[in-house]
Amino acid sequence: MKKLVVFVVCLLFVLSLAYAADYVGSKKCKMCHKGAKKGEVWEKWEKGHHAKAFETLKTDADKKNPECLACHTTGFGKGGYKAGDANAAKFEGVGCESCHGPGSDYKKMSVMKDRKKAIEAGMVMPTEALCKECHNKKSPDFKGFDFKEYMKKIDHTYREKK
Ligand code: HEC
Ligand code: HEC
Ligand code: HEC
Ligand code: HEC
> Would 66 be classed as within a structural domain?
yes
Please report, to the nearest 10 degrees, the dihedral formed by the alpha carbons of residues 58, 61, 64, 68 taken in order: -60
Instruction: Give the burial class of 33: count Cβ atoms within 10 A of its Cβ; 0-12 exposed, 13-18 middle, 19 or more buried.
Output: buried
Q: What is the pLDDT of residue 7?
A: 63
Among 7-11, 40-44, 106-110, 117-121, the least confident range: 7-11
Residue 3 lies in a domain: no
Distance, in Å, from the CA atom of 84 to the CA atom of 64, rounded to the nearest integer, reads: 9
Greater confidence, 157 or 4?
157
* Structural domain of 27: 21-154
Is 86 a member of any domain?
yes
List the residue whose alpha carbon is closest to atom 2 of ligand 3.
134
How far, in Å, is the centroid of ligand 4 from the Cα of 42? Answer: 10
CATH number at residue 132: 1.10.1130.10
> What residues contact residue 14 under an 8 Å CB cut-off, 6+ apart?
none
Atom of ligand 4 nearest to the CA of 125: 15
Which protein residue's CA is at the shortest distance from atom 35 of ligand 1? Answer: 96
pLDDT in tens, 99-139: 999 999 999 999 999 999 999 999 999 999 999 999 999 99
pLDDT computed for residue 38 by the predictor: 96
Identify which of 98, 96, 92 has the alpha carbon closest to the alpha carbon of residue 73: 92
Global pTM value: 0.94
pLDDT tens, position by position, 76-89? 999 999 999 999 99
Establish if 122 belongs to a structural domain. Answer: yes
- Residue 33 counted as domain residue: yes
Q: Residue 43: inside a domain, yes or no?
A: yes
16 CB burial (10 A radius; 0-12, 13-18, 19+): exposed
| Percentage of residues in the chain having pLDDT higher than 90 | 86
Percent pLDDT > 70 in the chain is 89
Residue 58 lies in a domain: yes
Predicted pLDDT of residue 162: 63
Does residue 4 fall inside a structural domain? no
Check whether 16 has a pLDDT greater than 70. Answer: no
Q: How many domains does the chain have?
A: 1
Residue 98's CB is within 10 A of a number of other CB atoms, namely: 28
Nearest Cα residue to 112 out of 15, 48, 42, 32: 32
